[in-house]
Amino acid sequence: MFERSDVMKLRVGVFLLSAATIAALATPRDSAYRVTIDLAGCQHDRVPVRVELPRNLSCSPCRYVLPRSVPGTYSLDYYGRFIVNARAFDAAGKELPISRDDSDIVVRGLPARIEYAVNDTWDEPQSGVFNPTGSNIQCDSNYVLNFHAFVGYIEGTKHYPYTVAITKPRGFFGATSLRRIASGTVADTFAARSYMELVDNPAMYCAPDTTSFDQSGTRVTVAVYSPNGVMRAERVATVLKPTLAAVARLLGTMPVDRYTFLFYFAGWQQRDLVGNLSFGALEHSTSSLYFLPEGRGSDQSADEMIESTAAHEFLHILVPLHLHSYEIADFDFRAPRMSRHLWLYEGCTEYFQLLARARDTLLPPENFLRELLSNLRMMRLFYRERSISLVELSQRVLEPEYQKMYPVIYMHGPVVAFCLDVTIRQLTHGQKTLLSTIQSLMKTYGPDRPFRDEELFDAFAAEVHPSLREFFRRYVEGSELPPIADCLAALGYRYQDSATVPAYQFENTSITLSRTSVVPLIVSRRPENDFGFRNGDTLVRINGTLVTPENKYELLSRFIWAPTSGDTVRVLVRRSEGEAELRAVPRRTERIVRHTFSADPDPSPQAQAFRREFFGK
């Protein structure tokens, strides 16, 4: 551990204290936390943390709470298990006895400070923590600071303010939306009005690779860490600009004046991460944190992943960040209670990111519909015989059985949102939409005015039409599939629950790739196979496209496991005796496709007008 005097030595001569800094540091100690996170003192991938506690505590014993869950994750992660070597001291410096209770640290006596070291979640293969909600400690190169993985609070004081001093290696920059009150070459100081605000503002420290731009009145900052230098902030910003422009056009006005995108791109040589990869992102009020594959730099799929993921996370500014229930507004980090409205928070957000791109030039309207319907096919594939109420799934998502079904929110939720949008437009003769209704509800409620979980459906119906309440009863509280056929017909499309379509397939193409090799190495195959694969073959190219760790399954699926045409497929493999090109021709067959659609060859004038208005074309 380290002493306060050591930290202060590092900081002498570094800060230029502004009036805001002095005011923040002068916050009454009686009701404030002062935290030091010593990144510069990192050893063996552990970071020392020192927490000076408020002086007005009266607890005995005192419970230092470390979250079991955090907003936006919908899982139990128990961040206290990554805290080690904890010690507590009273105001005279006497060490106090402590015990561990689940995630928490329980102190006997009245503590003045708590010290401990933090292990990161990313290095633990069995942590189960979604990477964007976890922590990364790479002493020489990168720190991802989700503060709930480093700092807690004494039970009953999560609304107290925090001052956080972070010592850092020279040459490192800390990107975050957290209010910065001082900054220098070896240390930064930040302030948060409460534990909720601290948790809501992650940071990433590394050698700086940042850029900024303005989008419709919002100052956007992009910070990138890419271990091989493949992805750069300027390139990511180039991808984000048209996406955010599409979002701005959908919303009409941007709801925040600043926003920070934090991107960590994982390289496949990072063996400590491979066992715990969970790509994705987590939203916050004025920032979002991403954990994505680094790719090969020119890979179009990387840009598409950034585009769709960033649009989704940014659009969370609507829900749940500016429209949410009490369960989220006053989140219980120790005993979390789940809202019944994940369909709104995640399903509607995913729908809006699709709609924003469809109303722009980024996603053709029919591709928009294909993506929606592909969600229903995925549901049938993975949850074949299950039908479930989205409300029930939301409320019980922390239970193991329902945790397995959590992806349904992203499959079923957007389809429900689409049908809800169409229904609202029809009931109001185009005067209202799902988006305008949510924006109207944001005026009644808002970030500091949460709604009661059981009142939301009635509030929607009051905004739109009394009959909308039946929609929620059947398709959100109930388990019926929403009226997708009627909604597509309103847009001039014909829906088919199932259809027989031409298909192509190879007779024998079962192969298994090595899980431990970075290169796509075949470790087993059927003795008789159409291409003549051998065990030990390394896939080099498929139809001229270089096979990479990132695209190997996509290429295998597109050209070998489910080819879309009868054209010859060429596979270049590397063997001990050299390279060989293998060829095979798939045979024509037929297959049944569920949840498909086609354009009505003679749509009514009403359908044509509705489609133009819906897609803004």
Summarised one tens digit per residue, pLDDT across range 1-16 is: 333 233 322 322 233 3
More confident residue, 348 or 617: 348
For Cα atoms 282, 372, 380, give the angle at the middle one, nearest 5 degrees: 95
- 338 burial type by CB count under 10 A (0-12 exposed, 13-18 middle, 19+ buried): buried
Provide mean pLDDT across the span 36-49: 97
Burial class (CB in 10 A: 0-12, 13-18, 19+), 534: middle
Query: Cβ distance 425 to 445 under 8 Å?
Result: no
How far is C-alpha 473 from the geometric centre of its chain's CA atoms?
29
Q: Check whether 329 has a pLDDT greater than 50.
A: yes
pLDDT at 573: 93
Q: Report the distance separating Cα 115 and Cα 517, nearest Å.
A: 41
Reference 87, options 163, 3, 29; nearest CA is 3
Above 60 in pLDDT, residue 437?
A: yes
325: which residues sit within 8 A by CB, 6+ positions away?
339, 340, 341, 450, 451, 452, 453, 456
Q: For residue 278, what pLDDT is reported?
A: 77
The three-state secondary structure class of 364 is coil
pLDDT bin (cut points 50, 70, 90) of residue 59 is very high
According to DSSP, the residues that pair with 498 across neighbouring strands are 594
pLDDT at 287: 96
pLDDT of residue 268: 64
Region 389-403: what's the mean pLDDT? 93
| Cα atoms in the Cβ-side hemisphere of radius 13 Å centred on 445 | 25
pLDDT at 25 over 50: no
| Of 147-151, 253-257, 568-572, the least confident | 253-257
pLDDT at 270: 58
CATH 2.40.110.10 is held by the domain 507-585 = no
Residue 170: what are its φ and ψ, rounded to 5°?
-60, 140
Judging by DSSP bridges, how do beta strands 218-225 and 258-266 pair with one another? parallel
Query: What are 441-476's pLDDT values in tens digits?
Result: 999 998 889 999 999 999 999 999 999 999 999 999
> Looking at residue 285, what is its pLDDT?
92
Residue 22 has pLDDT above 70, yes or no: no
Q: Do the beta carbons of residue 334 and residue 67 sit within 8 Å?
A: yes
- Comparing 202 with 588, which gets the higher pLDDT? 202
For domain 4-205, is the CATH number 3.20.20.140? Answer: no
DSSP secondary structure code for residue 492 in this structure? T
pLDDT band (50, 70, 90) for residue 513? confident
Q: What pLDDT sits at residue 384?
A: 63
Contact 151, 38 (CB under 8 A): no
335-493+599-617 CATH: 1.10.390.10
pLDDT at res. 21: 42
pLDDT of residue 358: 94
Q: Which pLDDT value is given to residue 419? A: 98
Name the 3-class secondary structure at 615: helix
- 8 Å CB contact between 164 and 152: no
The yes-or-no verdict on residue 46 having pLDDT over 60 is yes
* Residue intervals in the chain for CATH 2.60.40.3650: 4-205
Burial of 298 (0-12, 13-18, 19+ CB in 10 A): exposed
**pLDDT at residue number 603:** 94
Res. 229: pLDDT tops 60: yes
| pLDDT attached to residue 10 | 30
CB-based contacts of 431: which residues, under 8 Å, 6+ apart? Answer: none
Residue 29: its pLDDT value, please? Answer: 65
**For the chain, what percent of residues have pLDDT higher than 70?**
91
CATH 1.10.390.10, the chain: domain bounds: 209-317, 335-493+599-617
- What is each CA distance from 174 to 37, 167, 212, 225, 233, in whole angstroms? 13, 10, 15, 11, 15
Contact call for residues 1 and 87 (beta carbons, < 8 A) = yes
pLDDT band at 52 (very low <50, low <70, confident <90, very high): very high
- The mean pLDDT of 297-310, rounded to a whole number, is 78
Highest mean pLDDT among 117-131, 137-151, 502-516, 591-605: 137-151
Does the pLDDT value for residue 547 go beyond 90?
no
Query: In the prediction, which pLDDT does 273 show?
Result: 53
Question: In the structure, what pLDDT confidence band is assigned to residue 433 with cuts at 50, 70 and 90?
Answer: very high
Nearest to 241 by CA among 345, 294, 314: 314
CA 513, CA 559: separation in Å to the nearest integer? 16
With bands split at pLDDT 50, 70 and 90, how would you rate the model's confidence at 296?
A: low
pLDDT exceeds 60 at position 23 = no
Q: Report yes or no: 29 and 55 within 8 Å, Cβ to Cβ.
A: yes
What pLDDT score does 27 carry? 52
* 230/232 Cα distance (integer angstroms): 7
The arrangement of secondary structure in 209-317, i.e. its CATH architecture, is Orthogonal Bundle (1.10)
**What distance in Å separates the CA atoms of residue 412 and residue 405, rounded to the nearest whole number?**
11
Helix 605-615 × helix 408-427 angle, to 10°: 120
- Token pair belonging to 451: 């709604």
pLDDT (0 to 100) of residue 386: 59
Angstrom distance (rounded) from CA 255 to CA 253:
6
User: pLDDT higher for 491 or 360?
Assistant: 491
pLDDT at 28: 61
- Beta bridge partners, 34, equal 52, 163
Residue 233 main-chain phi, psi, to 5 deg: -60, -40
Chain-centre distance for alpha carbon 256: 19
Which one, of 315, 340, 317, 316, lies nearest residue 327 by Cα?
340
- The chain-wide mean pLDDT, for the chain, equals 89
Write out pLDDT tens, residues 138-196. 999 999 999 999 999 999 999 999 999 999 999 999 999 999 999 999 999 999 999 99
Instruction: Please tell me the distance from the alpha carbon of residue 379 to that of residue 235, in angstroms, as a whole number.
Output: 35
Residue 97 clears pLDDT 80, i.e. is over it:
yes
Supply the pLDDT for residue 607: 96
List Cα–Cα distances, 80 to 76, 150, 397, in angstroms.
12, 9, 21
Kindly indicate the confidence band of residue 321, based on its pLDDT and cuts at 50, 70 and 90: confident
The residue to which tokens 């592909």 are assigned: 374
